[in-house]
Amino acid sequence: MDLTIESISKDGYHLLSLSGDVDTKTAPSLLDALTGLELAALAELRIEMAQVGFLSSAGLRALVFAKQKMPHTARLVLVGTSADIADVIAKTGLTQAVTLVASHDDL
């Protein structure tokens, strides 16, 4: 399945809305979208995950890359992550790097 990425600057944060699977084939496009941002200047990056059905280690690497480039005080927020994907994030110890919320209203 392909991955669609919509990138929008919002007041106080940047939003990437993803739709599709983030796997070995599609993760490079996510990495491209991330490298296209001024990560070092972002206070908050939100990634809309509600339409993402699958995330492999290639996608996790893209998230780690983004968090490592962002300021220490910045937040990387995943919105609407499925239980299966949240489980993989927890298993790999990345819950310390991201904030998981069910919806934007939780922020």
Beta strands in the chain (DSSP E): 3-10, 13-22, 44-55, 75-79, 99-101
Is residue 57 a contact residue for another protein (CB under 8 A)?
A: yes
For the chain, the 3-state helix, strand and coil shares in percent, each to the nearest 5, are 35, 35, 25
Q: Which stretch binds another protein (CB under 8 A): 10-18, 33-41, 43-51, 65-73?
A: 65-73
CB nearer another protein, residue 94 or residue 104 = 94
Give me the residues that bind another protein (CB under 8 A), please.
1, 23-25, 54, 56-58, 60-61, 64-65, 67-68, 72, 83-84, 87-88, 91-94, 96-97
